[in-house]
Chain A
C-alpha cells in the first residue's frame, strides 16, 4: 500500500514539473515549487514509514497523500485546459 501511495505522490510531483517548466510567471513558479516541495515532504514521510519496523497505522497518511494527489490532479487538469 505504501509503495503505491508513494508512486502516486511521485507522479503528482512529476506532473507539476511540466507545469512549472511551461510557466513564464515567476510568482506562479515559486508557488508551484512550494507545492512540489510539499509533495516531496509527503514522499519523505512515506519512505520513513516504509523503513519503520513495527506496528503501522497509515490511514491518516494515506488520506493526506490522497488529498495531495487529488489536488494536484485537479490543478494539472485545469492547467491543461487553460
Chain B
C-alpha cells in the first residue's frame, strides 16, 4: 500500500468510527440499545430493543441477529438454563472491566459463537474468533475484554492458587 492510500484508509477508519459512535449514541439516548465494544462479530455490535416484540433483538452488522437469538434460545432450552434472552443481553450491557467467568453452556462452530453462563441467571456471548480457540461445553472460561480485545486468562489452580 502506498503512503497516500494508507493515509486515505486511516482517514476513512477515523471518520466512520465517529459516524458509528454517533449512531449508537443516538440510539442509546432513544433507549433502543447499548453498545458493547468488547464484543465483536464482524464489526461493532449494537443491541436494539424491539418494541414490537417486547424483547431484545441482537442487531449485528452482518445481519446475524436471528442466528444469535436462535442460538441463545436453543441453548436455554437444551441446557435448561435459568436464563432468558433478556438476561443475556443485559449481561452484555455491563460496563465494568468486562470480566466473564463461568461455564461454557453452548458452542456453535458454524456461527462462530460461544454462550457462557455467568451464574445468577446471566450469560455472555463470545465470538470464537476473539477467543482464538474453540472451547468445550462444560469447561470454565475466563475472558476479559480490554480495549475491544478478548483475552482468555489462565485458569487458577484451586490447590495452589496460581495460574498454569
> Which residues of B sit under 8 angstroms from A82, Cβ to Cβ?
2, 4-5, 8
A-B pairs with lowest CB-CB distance, top 4: A37-B43, A64-B22, A71-B15, A68-B19
Closest A residue to B25 by beta carbon equals A60
A contact residues vs B (CB 8 Å cutoff): 25, 27-28, 31-42, 44-45, 48, 51-54, 57, 60-61, 63-65, 67-68, 70-72, 74-75, 78-79, 82
Q: Are A65 and B23 in contact (CB under 8 A)?
A: yes
Q: How far is the CB of B68 from chain A (nearest CB, A)?
A: 13
CB of B32 within 8 Å of the partner chain = yes
10 intermolecular pairs with C-beta atoms under 8 Å apart? A28-B5, A31-B13, A41-B24, A44-B60, A44-B65, A45-B33, A60-B25, A64-B19, A75-B12, A78-B4
Q: Are B23 and A61 in contact (CB under 8 A)?
A: yes
Flag B11-40 by CB within 8 Å of A: 1 or 0 each.
111011111111111110010110000000
Which residue from B13, B17, B43, B51 sits with its C-beta under 8 Å from A53?
B51
CB of B59 within 8 Å of the partner chain = yes
> Which residues of A sit under 8 angstroms from B43, Cβ to Cβ?
33-34, 36-38, 40-41
> Which residues of A sit under 8 angstroms from B30, Cβ to Cβ?
57
A-B contact count (CB 8 A): 126
Interface SS of chain A: helix
Closest A residue to B4 by beta carbon equals A82
B contact residues vs A (CB 8 Å cutoff): 1-2, 4-5, 8-9, 11-13, 15-27, 30, 32-33, 42-44, 46, 48, 50-52, 57, 59-63, 65
Which residue from B4, B9, B23 sits with its C-beta under 8 Å from A64?
B23
Q: How far is the CA of A33 from the CA of B61 in the complex (A)?
A: 11
Q: How far is the CA of A72 from the CA of B21 in the complex (A)?
A: 16
Q: Are B12 and A72 in contact (CB under 8 A)?
A: yes
Q: Are A71 and B16 in contact (CB under 8 A)?
A: yes
